Amino acid sequence: MLTVDISVSRRVCQQNSNLLCYFHPGQSSDSGICSSCNKPRFGTIGCEDRSAHSHDFTQNTFDPTPRSYHSAAERLWWPPENRIHNAIVIDCEMVELAYGKEAVVHLSAVDFVTGKTLIDSHLAIPEGERVTDWRTTYTGVTAASLAIAQQEGKVLDGIVGARQELFKHMCLRNTTLIGFSVHHDLEALRIFHPNIVDFQILYSERHGEKVGLKRSCEELLGRKIQNHGKAGNGHICMEDVMATRELVLHWIEKKGDARILSEEEKWEQFEDAYHWEQVDAEWDAMVW
């Protein structure tokens, strides 16, 4: 186990999680005064209350609590050979808690080579914490869906249970963990690991720019993702995992020669494909 005092910047509010949430609904970007009660938006008790409210936190403080990070090498037992996977693709989804904290609410993992599902489970919310925003569009999780999963016994025991479940499939330090901006997932699960493949890093170091998962899939694979629900922008954790897997496989197949073209480059390719100069000449030569 690795313990680090990193003084992580955290968004916070002043209310205890077991009390009503007080907030200023009126916003004024110029003066910082609530337009509803004419009091400063920061440093004063809110003029409205709600049992749950998703805040727009803007004031940073620091969390001095040391964080403990864990490795599969800490495991005291060795999994059966048929459960060990040389490369695993992972993705987490997070909900927002009171005080602006976050908690992992879903973990998906697949075998990189075969695409076999290893984990696709909700996580229990930490005891004593209150969810202020389920972020259902991005997590696919609601209070009801989590409650049903808990009744069916299909929920992992927080990040501790998630780590244990993931470590069951890992060969100590030899397994490669793969993801898209996977440092966020490792941080959320409090895992440190030496063998990482991150498509975001592969692409940005090769081409000098960062890209999103959705755009990468559409441009490189011709596949649309994150388009679920009525608004057409809903996420599914397992879909993101499989998309990341396909992107890395595509990168390997192309030996790193995979790049998202600008609109100008796309137009140039379009012109080259249709030989517009030849078409113009043939058009001019036509007899009407």
Per-residue pLDDT reduced to its tens digit, 194-220: 999 999 999 999 999 999 999 999 999
What pLDDT score does 66 carry? 77
What pLDDT score does 107 carry? 98
Residue 61, CA distances (Å) to 12, 58, 64, 167, 212 in order: 7, 10, 10, 33, 29
Q: Are strands 48-50 and 21-23 parallel, antiparallel or unpaired?
A: antiparallel
Which domains does the chain carry?
1-69 (no CATH), 72-253 (3.30.420.10)
Distance CA 86, CA 195 (A): 10
Distance CA 286, CA 42 (A): 74
Per-residue pLDDT for 148 more than 70?
yes
Distance CA 42, CA 23 (A): 9
SS3 (DSSP) at 89 = strand
Please answer whether residues 178 and 119 qualify as being in contact, where contact means their C-beta atoms are separated by less than 8 angstroms: no
Please answer whether residues 69 and 2 qualify as being in contact, where contact means their C-beta atoms are separated by less than 8 angstroms: yes
Please answer whether residues 107 and 162 qualify as being in contact, where contact means their C-beta atoms are separated by less than 8 angstroms: yes
Which of 64-78, 118-132, 166-180: highest mean pLDDT?
A: 118-132
Per-residue confidence at 171, pLDDT binned at 50, 70, 90?
Answer: confident
For the whole model, what pTM was predicted? 0.75
